Amino acid sequence: MEKGLKEFESIRRGLKPVVFALLLLVIQLSLYYLLDPELTFTIDEKPDLLPSLFAFLPVLVLIEELGLRVFPHFICLGLIQGWPRFTDLLRHARNPEEEKLDVFMIPLFGVVNGVIHLSNVATASPINILKYSFTHFVGGAYLGTIYLRHGFRQVYATHLLYDMMVFGLFFIQGTFW
């Protein structure tokens, strides 16, 4: 009985990033469908780029998570509570437990994510920038919530799976449609 519960718990922990990534994919696709922002990059223009994106995706997601979630969290902790030692930073990155900062941090994660992804906007019209920023604000806030609630490993796995699903959809779209 005890062994069965442990196996169930490990399966549940392993499926958590998959469920989070699927939910993020549904949210983002819905926002793109409803808002219809113009993008600059399509896989049709550079079809040979897709295998390279898959190959470097784990490193790119790691850099993005460190820069868009861990670093802003570290800066806010330093400004509010005093600068932690490096070992404290590693502990906070693995499993942040700052619930009193959530109200402030979750929108910050969204804003940082929205601003960083503005390089993908096709036309600089204010309405298109607003649509695109809002879509990425929601995605950044969602990933930030996962980071604050479940830690770095969960948000990294979720983000990696999400990006793989998006690039997989680009590949399927380019192959079959």
pLDDT digits (tens, 9 = 90+) for 153-167: 999 999 999 998 988
Q: Does residue 18 fall inside a structural domain?
A: no
Counting the structural domains of the chain, the total is 1
pTM of the model: 0.80
pLDDT at 177: 45
Helices and strands counted in the chain (H then E): 7, 0
Q: Does residue 41 fall inside a structural domain?
A: no
Enclosing domain of residue 85: 54-165
Q: Does residue 81 fall inside a structural domain?
A: yes
Q: Does residue 80 fall inside a structural domain?
A: yes
Least confident of 10-14, 61-65, 95-99, 105-109: 95-99
- In this structure, are residues 2 and 136 in contact, taking their beta carbons and an 8 Å threshold? no
The mean of the pLDDT values for the chain is 79
DSSP letters, 121-160, are: BSS--HHHHHHHHHHHHHHHHHHHHHHHHH-HHHHHHHHH
Q: Does residue 15 fall inside a structural domain?
A: no
Per-residue pLDDT averaged across 14-32, rounded? Answer: 88
pLDDT at 176: 45
Q: Does residue 17 fall inside a structural domain?
A: no
Q: Does residue 22 fall inside a structural domain?
A: no
Per-residue pLDDT averaged across 60-78, rounded? Answer: 87
What's the pLDDT band for 144 if we cut at 50, 70, 90? very high
Q: Does residue 123 fall inside a structural domain?
A: yes
